[in-house]
Structure 1
Amino acid sequence: MKCKLLVLDVDGTLLNNAKEISKRTLVTLLKVQQTGIRIVLASGRPTHGLIPLAKQLELDHYDGFIIAYNGSQIISAKDGKVIFERHIDNELLPYLEKKAKKNNFGIFTYKDNRIITTAPEDEHIRHEAFINQMEVIHEKEFCAAIDFSPTQCVLVSDDKEALTDLEQHWKRRLNGTLDVFRSEDYFLEVVPCGIDKANSLATLLDILKIARNEIIAIGDGVCDVTMIQQAGTGIAMGNAQDSVKACADMITGSNEEDGVADAVEKMILTDIRPSTVSLDILNARSQHTLMGNLGIQYTYVSDGRVEATMPVDHRTRQPFGVLHGGASLALAETVAGMGSMLMCQPDDIVVGMQVSGNHISSAHEGDTVRAVATIIHQGRSSHVWNVDIFTSTNKLVSSVRVINSLMKKR
């Protein structure tokens, strides 16, 4: 069954060891969203630390989602709306703080763009603040400072054995009240009972009316196991722990080898069938036409998808050096028209009926923009196309809707 949702863990999966999305992975994930597949970022990170990654991937434009705090919160990237959230009962916080003090552990939680903690100098907490771009707030009395119901609390220590002992004790003592797990050797995370990535993903699937066999999930850590098992296709990264690889349907490359891009290209993008029409022939036919005069070059054609580039130069710019909106619309109508011509019957002709565009940002002279046309309605007498136009750095310039009519030759 066709994939409708791609679920990605973040650290060790989406991000390389430099905590960056590689260029290849970024381009691949933008391309897969342009086919209509939505992306979900599922992470133990706080929401504040995931929003910049969601923006880089343009999840807001493609109606993606964020599962934060290992499942305690689900956010719509489109409008920032919280569509699911669970909290720790504040009455349990004194007990958590007491155990932290007794074992000489640090304890912290998240609030908006802040980390509230009893151990502000702890290197792991400071690193957590750094990668999530958050401020560290020191509070000697943890519970007294928490005037809200947290989605997650974390105990921190370099004493791995002591953390393991407390983890096992709490799994017996807090069963049915809170859930605990280790996301890192030095972190013991505490979340509301029944919260993990898989359960929150199941909630999202119910909301979206998407079946389990219509999702692909990729991860590397123990916290990803249930999510990988739940997915129609579960994929483990090459750098994943052996226990994660054992439960996966397939194993891809590591996060340093663009493993996410490899998996997406093999599992999703290879299903987009290239057209048998030669790009050289298409581009040759455009010479001495509007398309040729604007420098438009077809770069990819398939059943329901066409891509082309166009330079921002003296032919397509405005007097002050930015791409002319009319040139963007001409590019959009060109790729959508070609897409319909490749899909129509031999006795059909394609007539452009309507073009409407939203110009979102600018492209400057010297750049080359890329148009991606995907069909969103294929009827017997009409085709509706969505055309997104990007700069060379994958910034969205325009989003255009094109309607073509199919008419029989007379």
Structure 2
Amino acid sequence: MTTTSILPDRPLGIALIGTGFMGKCHAMAWRNVSAVFGGAHHRLEVLSDVTADSADRFARQFGFAHATARWEEAVNDPSVDVVSITAPNGLHRPMAEAALKAGKHVWLEKPMALTIADAESMAATAAIHPNQKTMLGYNYLRSPAFQAARNLIRQGGIGKPVAFRGVYDEDYSADPLLPWSWRMTHEGGGLGALGDLGCHLVSHMLALMGPVADVVAQTHVAIPTRPSPEGPKVVENEDSALALIRFISGAHGSFATSRVARGRKCRLQWEVHGSEGTIVFDQENMNELWVHRSGEAGFVRHLTGPDQPDFAAFCPAPGHNFGFNEQKIIEARDLLIAIGGAPNTGPDFAYGLQIERVIHAMANSNGERIKLA
């Protein structure tokens, strides 16, 4: 069965809530997914933003037919089949649950929710609306190099996985003069580095190593207050986190994430040690995969190319680099395939709850062991 044959056989109506970095990324994915993978060209119906003026402006820029400052109108519009949600974290639960109850499919940016209770409610709502498909925005799972690495591990290419080491560092909050924002609060942002960055690393870790049995972690606020027009305000969530992990398989791992790591831009880096080899990946060099197998002197560098999953749909030539937005187009394709009736490769809301449980366990550990299974 080809990909095209399991895509929806009719154009779907799309609503987009939010117009920031990821909102624009979703808009580009919806505009390009059919050009890359075939199938129907979907209708960009409704765009919602915080004001009517900004909604009108971005609707014209992104190519949506209608604009609104009320997200409820986008969710309930009868012309809409799928709702893309890229709004601030604190709005994820009400928007996603309203969309599911309105009979819409939901594509939601990570993190899934502010709290475990919110994530559990969202997963429960999705479970009682099985005809509505859900997808969480863990686009780094769609990198051809990552997909190739996961397949190699599943096929026993490095033997039995025995250890995982992972880091996700950025420096967008490293400047102590960076103004305070909602992202630094529990009410608006939820978790800090764990919710913004670490959840991506956990999504990779679970895909490569399987479920987590227990964690021991510590978190740290490196810059306790931030400037604001009203004076210094307290940073409520973590700037960094470290964890030791034991997997149900018996393998062990280490985990680190930071939003204040000077010089790091998107260091989503991990390595998996197996009984017969090692795989190394770094998102800052996302078009390279380094593999060592028993008996070899060192590592072999593998460049992305059409032999890796989904690369050929964009380019027929090896070594021609893949990019961030291409990953999002694959994610849109995977949601469409699920809507078309194929198994949902996710992460859907049920799987997303597993990711949330891991990062919240890390946030709550304070050096104590927390069992997850």
Determine which structure has more spread, i.e. the larger CA radius of gyration: 1
Query: TM-score, normalised on structure 1?
Result: 0.26
Query: TM-score, normalised on structure 2?
Result: 0.27
Higher RCO structure, 1 or 2 (CA under 8 Å, sep 6+): 2
